[in-house]
């Protein structure tokens, strides 16, 4: 008798951990996400250009090599619609999925589905990429019955989506989903943390958490390792329609001198075209509180810019000290590597930053959008 055991996958051992990567569905109507029947948010002209990306290719190429590669990552991309289908299925074409040892594949390459009531949104399920993802995948989220539901899909944080087909039960309704509180988005500019590294799934990135928390549209211009405040991207962002601007690129500035050289011109660029919108300065989350290891110089640059704006009469500015973003129990457990937040870290960030954004926009703030908690001002 052989002592060798048959190797089983965890999905064979525990059905609750099984991920279906092929579809066995009843008659299904498949539509391209770019067909015009779905509402797309957080993306640059996907219907006109036929490409999922966050900014024009020409601007990305002129900014730096990192932004060139990352601008087609769909961080912050969302799809909204309403249907009475018993399921939502996806066929995803993903030529170059991003795989990282410290970020779940669901976060980097998967989709999340939320159910909305027009004001709040509750997590319902995810579209999981397979462990050995190559070129794309199929996935489905089932519901208990056929009923009208307002659907919100969050797109992958660290992968580009070549094509996306959405499958609904044959004959099911397809209507516009709920919109947002205001037409103009909040623009978030920053580093890998802003892009969403390393959330376990797309809906847990702090920008997406805030979007659902405040029911606001947003544009995620987080570029991993590549947000350096160059004039080309500053001028481009200044040309965008927006309701507020959140500036969070401290982590990617090569030095305090670079930050000092670029931050104030970026602020001025935004103010030339948007003199009255809220502008929120944020310094990087500081995991290390050892005084001997911290570099306070970048934080001082940001504080000085904030103080200079206030002294100039700009009362629609705010500042968040990144050292406070992870405050609370289990402070040291808020990252995956001492830098990039996990879901605990992102939830802490969303609470602090979301409260400030709500204050600056003068809208109600509710910390937990999935429960009937009272509103906080």
Co-location of 227 and 351 in the same domain: yes
Measured between alpha carbons, how far apart are the two ends of the chain, in Å?
A: 70
Residue 255 near residue 261 (C-beta atoms within 8 A): no
Co-location of 256 and 337 in the same domain: yes
pLDDT at 373: 40
Residues of the chain with pLDDT under 50: 1, 292-293, 371-377
Give me the CATH number covering residue 116: 2.60.120.260
Task: Give the start-end residues of each E strand in 66-216.
Answer: 78-83, 87-94, 111-116, 121-127, 135-142, 149-154, 163-169, 186-190
pLDDT at 218: 98
- DSSP track, 354-377: HHHHHHHHT--B-S-TTS-PPPB-
Co-location of 235 and 130 in the same domain: no
Residue 37 near residue 31 (C-beta atoms within 8 A): yes
Can you give the pTM of this predicted structure?
0.92
pLDDT at 120: 87
Q: How far apart are CA 54 and CA 109, in angstroms?
A: 16
- The answer to whether residue 331 is domain-embedded is yes
Sign of the Cα torsion 230, 231, 233, 237 reads positive
Give me the CATH number covering residue 255: 3.40.50.1110
Residue 269 domain boundaries: 186-361
Q: How far apart are CA 162 and CA 328, in angstroms?
A: 40
Domain end point (choices 120, 135, 169)? 169
pLDDT at 377: 30
- The answer to whether residue 44 is domain-embedded is yes
Residue 137 near residue 93 (C-beta atoms within 8 A): no
pLDDT at 372: 45
- The answer to whether residue 333 is domain-embedded is yes
Q: What is the pLDDT of residues 322-377, one digit of tens each?
A: 989 999 999 899 999 999 999 999 999 999 999 999 999 999 887 765 544 433 33
């Amino acid at each position: 008798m052989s002592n060798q055991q048959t190797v089983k996958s965890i999905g064979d051992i525990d059905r609750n951990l099984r991920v279906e990567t092929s579809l066995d569905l009843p008659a299904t109507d498949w539509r391209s996400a770019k067909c015009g029947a779905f509402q797309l948010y957080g993306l640059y002209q996907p219907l006109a250009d036929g490409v999922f990306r966050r900014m024009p290719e020409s601007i990305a190429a002129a900014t730096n090599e990192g932004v060139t590669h990352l601008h087609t990552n769909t961080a912050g991309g969302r799809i909204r619609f309403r249907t009475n289908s018993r399921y939502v299925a996806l066929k995803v074409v993903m030529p170059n999925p991003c795989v990282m040892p410290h970020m779940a594949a669901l976060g980097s390459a998967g989709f999340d589905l939320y159910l909305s009531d027009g004001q709040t949104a509750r997590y319902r399920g995810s579209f999981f990429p397979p462990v050995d993802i190559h070129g794309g995948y199929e996935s489905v989220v089932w519901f208990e019955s056929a009923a009208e539901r307002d659907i919100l899909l969050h797109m992958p944080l660290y992968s580009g989506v070549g094509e996306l087909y959405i499958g609904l039960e044959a004959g099911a309704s397809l209507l516009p989903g709920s919109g947002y509180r205001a037409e103009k988005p909040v623009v978030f500019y920053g580093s890998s943390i802003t892009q969403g590294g390393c959330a376990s799934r797309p809906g847990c990135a702090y920008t997406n958490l805030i979007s659902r928390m405040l029911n606001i549209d947003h544009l995620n211009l987080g570029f991993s390792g590549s947000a350096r405040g160059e004039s080309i991207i500053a001028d481009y962002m200044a040309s965008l329609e927006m309701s507020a601007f959140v500036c969070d690129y401290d982590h990617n500035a090569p030095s305090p001198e670079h930050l000092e050289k670029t931050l104030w011109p970026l602020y001025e660029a935004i103010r030339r075209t948007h003199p009255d919108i809220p502008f929120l300065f944020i310094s990087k989350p500081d995991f290390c509180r050892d005084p001997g290891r911290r570099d306070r110089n970048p934080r001082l640059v940001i504080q000085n810019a904030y103080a200079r704006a206030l002294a100039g009469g700009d009362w629609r500015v705010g500042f968040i000290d990144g050292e406070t973003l992870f405050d609370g129990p289990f402070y040291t457990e808020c990252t995956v590597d001492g830098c990039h937040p996990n879901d605990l870290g992102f939830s802490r960030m969303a609470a602090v930053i979301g409260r400030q954004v709500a204050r600056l926009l003068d809208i109600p703030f509710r910390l937990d959008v999935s429960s009937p908690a009272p509103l906080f001002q």
